[in-house]
Amino acid sequence: QVQLVESGGGLVQAGGSLRLSCAATGRTFSSYAMGWFRQAPGKEREFVAAISWSGNYIVYADSVKGRFTASRDNAKNTVYLQVNSLKPEDTAVYYCAAPHLPYRVVTTHTDFGSWGQGTQVTVSS
């Protein structure tokens, strides 16, 4: 089991930026891909991005391509999500997640076994 703690959320105006962080403890971080999801009020949790265990392969949802950038620092057991050009529709609780299995880049929420508590991102128009 891995423990995940997100930080970096906040209130920002449209067009602004934030850097979300997710610190992991409890298992070999560098063997696992990581994912970012978000959930807006009244909506289902949706995939945002996934980054491979090395950081060399990243998958993004179409809605965030070109605006969001995932990265990781395995020496710090931390994964990041740089969110730029924010829009009001990006308002949501953002979660990082670790998959059940190592060395797998997955994008479906049922493939993830550990979740952080979430960090709120609110974008005002």
The pLDDT, as a whole number, for residue 106 is: 96
Helix (H, G, I), strand (E, B) or coil at 90: helix
pLDDT (tens digit per residue) in 20-73: 999 999 778 999 999 999 999 999 999 999 999 999 999 999 999 999 999 999
The pLDDT, as a whole number, for residue 103 is: 96
Which are the contacts of 42, defined by CB distance < 8 A and separation ≥ 6? none
The pLDDT, as a whole number, for residue 1 is: 77
**What is the pairing mode between strands 68-73 and 78-83?**
antiparallel
Please give the angle made by the CA atoms of 88, 89 and 93, to the nearest 5 degrees: 100
Distances (CA, A) of 28 to 12, 20, 42, 54, 108: 34, 21, 35, 12, 21
The pLDDT, as a whole number, for residue 27 is: 77
pLDDT (tens digit per residue) in 76-120: 999 999 999 999 999 999 999 999 999 999 999 999 999 999 999
